C-alpha cells in the first residue's frame, strides 16, 4: 500500500507543475516522503521553478526596507510580466527580501557573483592553515571546500537562511514564489546602508 494519498499527488503536481504520473512516480520512489520527492524532481530538473529559471525577467519592482531609521536596504526584484509585478504576493516577496538584506547584510546575490580573486584568496588562506596537517590530500581538499563554502554562505543572499523561517533559504523562498506566480523571479541587485558606516 502506498504511503501517500491522491491529495499528496495533487499537491506535488500543483507545486511542481508536472503531470500526475510524474508526481505519483516521484512519491512512489520517495516512499511517500513529500520533501524527498520534491528534491528528487528538482535534481532531475522537473520542477516548474527550474524550467522557468532560464526565462527572461525584466519587469518587477524596486522595494526598500528601513529599520529604526538606522539601517536600510533597497532591492530590485524582477519577474516576467508587469501583471505579476503588481500582485500582492510579488510585492510581499520583495519586501521580505529587503528585510533580509537589512538584517543579514549579504555581500553578493549568488555564488556566481563572488569575484574569482576573493574565492582564490579565501581558498589559499584555508590551504595555508591546513598545510602542516597530515591528512590525505583528498580529505584536506574536501575540508577546504567545506570551509570555503561556509565562509561565503552568509555573504551570499540566496544561500542565507530566511530570517522568518530558517528551514528555508532565500533561494528556496524565491522558488516557492515562482511556483505560486508561475513566472521566473530574479534578484537583480541590492544596496544596504547603515547610519555612520561607509564601505
pLDDT value, residue 57: 80
Q: What are phi and psi of 166, to 5 degrees?
A: -75, 5
Question: Is there a single domain that holds both residue 65 and residue 103?
Answer: yes
Q: What is the pLDDT along the chain (199 residues), one digit of tens a residue?
A: 457 888 888 777 766 666 678 778 888 888 888 878 877 776 665 555 555 555 678 899 999 999 999 999 999 999 999 999 999 999 999 999 999 999 999 999 998 888 889 888 998 888 888 877 778 878 888 888 888 888 888 899 999 999 999 999 999 999 999 988 888 999 999 999 999 887 6
Residues 39, 132, single domain; the answer is no
* Residues 29, 32: Cα–Cα separation, whole Å: 8
Count of CB atoms situated within 10 Å of the CB of 38: 21
- Indicate whether 98 and 175 sit together in one domain: yes
The values of phi and psi at residue 109, to 5°, are: -75, -50
Q: What is the CATH number of the domain that holds 105?
A: 3.30.479.20
Do residues 105 and 63 share a domain?
Answer: yes
- Cα radius of gyration rounded to whole Å, the chain: 20
Q: Which domain holds residue 38?
A: 6-46
CA–CA distances in Å: residue 33 to residues 3, 24, 166, 171: 8, 12, 20, 22
The cell numbers describing 27, all together, are 512519491
Determine the length of the chain: 199
Shared-domain flag, residues 182 and 93: yes
Give kind and range of the element (H or E) at residue 186. Answer: strand 186-194
Total tally of structural domains belonging to the chain: 3
Classify residue 126: in a domain, yes or no.
yes
Whether 53 is in a domain gets the answer: no
DSSP-assigned letter for residue 56: -
Alpha-carbon torsion (54, 62, 161, 84), positive or negative: negative
Amino acid at each position: 500500500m502506498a504511503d501517500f494519498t491522491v491529495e499528496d499527488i495533487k499537491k506535488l503536481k500543483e507545486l511542481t507543475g508536472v503531470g500526475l504520473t510524474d508526481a505519483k512516480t516521484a512519491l512512489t520512489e520517495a516512499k511517500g516522503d513529500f520533501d524527498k520527492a520534491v528534491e528528487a524532481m528538482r535534481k532531475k530538473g522537473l520542477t516548474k521553478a527550474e524550467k522557468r529559471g532560464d526565462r527572461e525577467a525584466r519587469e518587477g519592482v524596486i522595494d526598500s526596507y528601513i529599520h529604526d531609521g538606522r539601517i536600510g536596504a533597497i532591492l530590485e526584484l524582477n519577474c516576467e510580466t508587469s501583471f505579476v509585478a503588481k500582485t500582492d504576493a510579488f510585492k510581499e516577496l520583495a519586501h521580505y527580501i529587503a528585510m533580509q538584506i537589512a538584517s543579514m547584510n549579504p555581500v553578493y546575490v549568488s555564488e556566481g557573483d563572488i569575484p574569482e580573486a576573493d574565492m582564490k584568496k579565501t581558498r589559499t588562506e584555508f590551504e595555508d592553515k591546513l598545510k602542516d596537517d597530515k591528512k590525505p590530500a583528498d580529505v584536506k581538499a574536501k575540508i577546504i571546500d567545506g570551509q570555503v563554502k561556509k565562509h561565503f554562505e552568509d555573504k551570499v543572499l540566496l544561500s542565507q537562511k530566511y530570517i522568518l523561517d530558517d528551514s528555508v533559504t532565500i533561494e528556496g523562498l524565491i522558488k516557492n514564489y515562482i511556483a505560486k506566480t508561475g513566472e521566473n523571479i530574479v534578484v537583480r541587485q541590492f544596496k544596504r546602508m547603515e547610519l555612520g558606516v561607509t564601505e
